[in-house]
Structure 1
Amino acid sequence: MKRILIIEDEPDLRALVEFNLRTSGYSPVGTDNANDALMLVNDAQFDLILLDLMLPGLQGDQFLKIIRGMDRVSDTPVMIVSAKDSERDIIAGLDAGADDYLTKPFSIKVLLAKTAALLRRATSVGRENDAHAGISVNSETHRASVDGRDIQLAAKEFDLLQLFVRNPEKVFTRNQLLNTIWGYEADIFTRTVDAHISSLRKKLGKKGQLIRSVPKIGYRMEV
């Protein structure tokens, strides 16, 4: 049973999320502050962390920065669930290491769908072969195909496609893509991302429509 840590200081909301996760077959653990959450992740293994940003004491963004530097939980998926809903807040959260961002108020059905997607994504990491919606990539042979037909991709295009296929529905900011694929940090290179995405879409044919632009933020691959 997947264990999910909920860090939320609103007791009614925390109880609601815990109840729905439990009835969906998960094992939730809730806390109202990030300091206690640090002790929990030190003592036990979690498959997913749901993180509020505005908390008493240690703030959510500070907690995220700390755990991304801890070997034990550096790769644990984190979904921010916050009332901070500006474009800047969402980009900052994703760039800080969150795997997804859900703004309050939210639909429980959406929360559960995102939870399931993050957990599926986490189990796919490390496989040589990955596939999504008829698109297949093989990390060992560096071959990619669409509906069984091989396509020729440049090295960075392959890396981008593999990242999207392994992480369906995950929103990547341009800065995240620059850092992950090219190792760049500066915003001045964001056109490089756009150019490669455009080329990749064309090579994927109709499947290229699955790579969706997220206005003013970045890109994601549709399920």
Structure 2
Amino acid sequence: MKILVVEDDPRIAAVIRRTLGEAGYAVDVENSAPSAMMTFDEGGHDLVLLDLMIPGAPGGGMDVCRHVRATTEDIPVLMLTALGTKRNIVAGLDAGADDYLVKPFHLVELLARVRALLRRSPRAQPSVLHACGITLDPATRTATRAGRLIDLSAKEFSVLEYLMRNAGAIISSSELIDHAWDSNYDGFSNVVQTYIRYLRKKLTGPGEDDVIRTHRGSGYSIAADQ
């Protein structure tokens, strides 16, 4: 899943990016209202973490929140701010925020709020995924096949999760990059091929079939359970 973080303090933004990245999320970071709205309009985000006091618009983060809500009701917004008065909280919620976290906050609480909002989102998919004998639990970040626990890196988990959420469909390399890597990714062109190879090695035990199918020139797929 991809999260848009809007935070103008470079130190805080870096900590949030690292924390979310280690939890397996792809993260885009913007530091002003105009750049945040432009990146959001490009699409593909599942949640917005939004600082209230950002430059570039008269209402700061409130204007960004209203922009998000004018576009969709489905993407949750978590406001982050040092302004923790009742008036500020009410104003943020009235602007369309789904939750409100006052700085300073513990990173474990931030991750818990993120998970809760994603679970409650109208866009939320089934919490536990099943395909081709594989069970994937995004809440616990665990994957099993035939009762065997599969040790996946955060990026491997993200790629497999997206394939399983779209089981039966052919997913292109560019679509996987959009989902599992942030918008500033400029790494080597065969990164998806590399991670598919990693996944195949970990998912396929002795005597087991390869569950990831390659469609040359089109992408990859995992068959949906019948």
TM-score, length of structure 1 as denominator length = 0.53
Question: What is the Cα deviation at residue 125 of structure 1?
Answer: 6.5
Deviations 1:83-123 (A, max 9, x none): 11101111111122100000000000000000000011115
Paired position in structure 2 for 1:75: 74
Task: Looking at secondary structure, tell me which structure has more helix per residue.
Answer: 1
Paired position in structure 1 for 2:93: 94
Paired position in structure 1 for 2:106: 107
Paired position in structure 1 for 2:31: 32
Quote the Cα distance in structure 1 between the aligned partners of 2:47 and 2:2: 7
Deviations 1:12-49 (A, max 9, x none): 00000000000001111101111111111111220000
Counterpart of 1:118 in structure 2: which amino acid? L
Q: Which runs of 5 or more structure 2 residues have no equivalent in the other structure? A: 127-226
Paired position in structure 2 for 1:65: 66
Matches within 5 A, 1:188-199: none
Q: CA RMSD in A?
A: 1.8
Quote the Cα distance in structure 2 between the aligned partners of 1:35 and 1:94: 21
Q: Pick closer, same or farther for the CA change 1:32–1:123 going to 2, 3 Å.
A: same
Deviations 1:137-169 (A, max 9, x none): xxxxxxxxxxxxxxxxxxxxxxxxxxxxxxxxx
Deviations 1:56-104 (A, max 9, x none): 112100111122112xx33210000001110111111112210000000
Quote the Cα distance in structure 2 between the aligned partners of 1:27 and 1:55: 22
Counterpart of 1:27 in structure 2: which amino acid? A
Give the number of aligned pairs. Answer: 124
Matches within 5 A, 1:168-187: none
- SS in structure 2 of the partner of residue 68 of structure 1: helix
The runs of at least 4 aligned residues of structure 1 exceeding 6 Å deviation read 124-127
Quote the Cα distance in structure 1 between the aligned partners of 2:120 and 2:70: 21
Counterpart of 2:102 in structure 1: which amino acid? T
Counterpart of 2:51 in structure 1: which amino acid? D
Quote the Cα distance in structure 2 between the aligned partners of 1:124 and 1:65: 19
Quote the Cα distance in structure 2 between the aligned partners of 1:57 and 1:25: 30
Instruction: Tell me if the contact between 2:74 and 2:123 (Cα under 8 Å) persists in the aligned partners.
Output: no
Q: Pick closer, same or farther for the CA change 1:32–1:61 going to 2, 3 Å.
A: same
Quote the Cα distance in structure 2 between the aligned partners of 1:82 and 1:123: 25
TM-score, length of structure 2 as denominator length = 0.52
Counterpart of 2:28 in structure 1: which amino acid? V
Quote the Cα distance in structure 1 between the aligned partners of 2:21 and 2:125: 28
